[in-house]
Structure 1
Amino acid sequence: MELDRLDRDIIAALVEDARQTYAEIGQEVGLSASAVKRRVDRLRESGAITGFSAMVAPAALGWTTEAYVELFCQGKTKPSDIALAVARYPEVVGAATITGEADALLHIRATDVRHVERVIERIAAEPFVVRTKSAIVLSRLVDSPPGTTLPDARNGSHVPG
């Protein structure tokens, strides 16, 4: 779906505060509340907006430690096999296939370093995993929620939301 500037502004407003009213968003972007609602409905129907949720600080839930783990897999392990295996671990909050030597990169959240270690040990025991390489996050330098920076369709650069 092609997003125009108003769509981008509406999405940015929703990312900033999804609980604000259509009238409040309309004031911000220069549309009536009903026009904002029609656009939000269209954005939802098209799949551009996939839902609304509360953002909770992981530390509030006891997840105070995070790590990134590279997976090196044997042979031609399919991404779907990796996805099925790592989805069983609630500590894995993100996973992606990547370029470079590793086959996949996992984002892990845990209660402490020992917990991270146990999760990595369990993942390393998966039959397709040859080895892992991990990095513990010391501090986050940039932590923007998805959608706060939207690509500018004209030149591919990012436009703050």
Structure 2
Amino acid sequence: MSRDKTDETIIEILKKDSRQSFVEIGEKLGLSESAVRRRVKNLTGGGIIKKFTIETGDANSTSAIILISVDSSTDTSKVSAKLSKLHGVHTVFEITGQYDIATIIKAPTITDINVCIDELRKVPGVFDTNTVIILRTVT
């Protein structure tokens, strides 16, 4: 499916706030509600927009990035699958470079982050970890 500049703008608007109505988006772009609805339907049907989701406020939580080395005899994708099921694991990335996997974990406190890290280190195939606590997110 080909996208034009208007489709790209709609995607950017929805990334920032997926709750905006088609009417509101249309007003910003000089389009009718039905034109925006049709474009979003085409973007969704064409697999460009995979899903709509929410992001919860994290004012009372702590986040960390965990860089993980996987044992060379272990399939990285199997480790990734196990990690993605752990409580507190928000996102799992398979990456290149010194580490094989990067995860983002979220928990209410540093103590809870430590519990999650301890569980993560118990996953078969996890060889080494490097933890970075996120102090603040700048958007």
Corresponding residue for residue 151 of structure 1: none
Q: CA deviation at 1:29?
A: 0.9
Which residues in structure 2 correspond to 1:49-60 (within 5 Å)?
Answer: 49-59=49-59
2:112 to 111, 115, 140: 115
Q: CA deviation at 1:138?
A: 1.5
Q: CA deviation at 1:119?
A: 1.2
Q: CA deviation at 1:65?
A: 0.9
Corresponding residue for residue 77 of structure 2: 80
Corresponding residue for residue 89 of structure 1: 86
Q: CA deviation at 1:118?
A: 1.4
Whole-Å Cα distance in 2 between the matches of residues 122 and 80 of structure 1?
A: 18
Corresponding residue for residue 20 of structure 1: 20
Structure 1 residue runs without a partner (length 5+): 144-161
Q: Do structure 1's residue 70 and structure 2's residue 61 form an aligned pair? A: no
Secondary structure at 1:58 match in 2: coil
Provide closer, same or farther for how the CA distance between residues 19 and 138 of structure 1 changes in structure 2, counting only shifts above 3 A.
Answer: closer
Provide closer, same or farther for how the CA distance between residues 30 and 90 of structure 1 changes in structure 2, counting only shifts above 3 A.
Answer: same
Corresponding residue for residue 4 of structure 1: 4
CA contact (8 A) 2:79 2:123 kept: no
- TM-score computed with the length of structure 1 as normaliser: 0.77
- Percent identity, aligned pairs only, is 32
Residues 121-141 of structure 1 show CA distances to partners (whole Å, capped at 9, x for unaligned) of 11111221111111111122x
Corresponding residue for residue 149 of structure 1: none
Higher alpha-carbon deviation: 15-24 or 107-116: 15-24
Provide closer, same or farther for how the CA distance between residues 18 and 97 of structure 1 changes in structure 2, counting only shifts above 3 A.
Answer: closer
How many residues are paired up?
Answer: 139
Structure 2 residue runs without a partner (length 5+): none
Corresponding residue for residue 156 of structure 1: none
- TM-score computed with the length of structure 2 as normaliser: 0.88
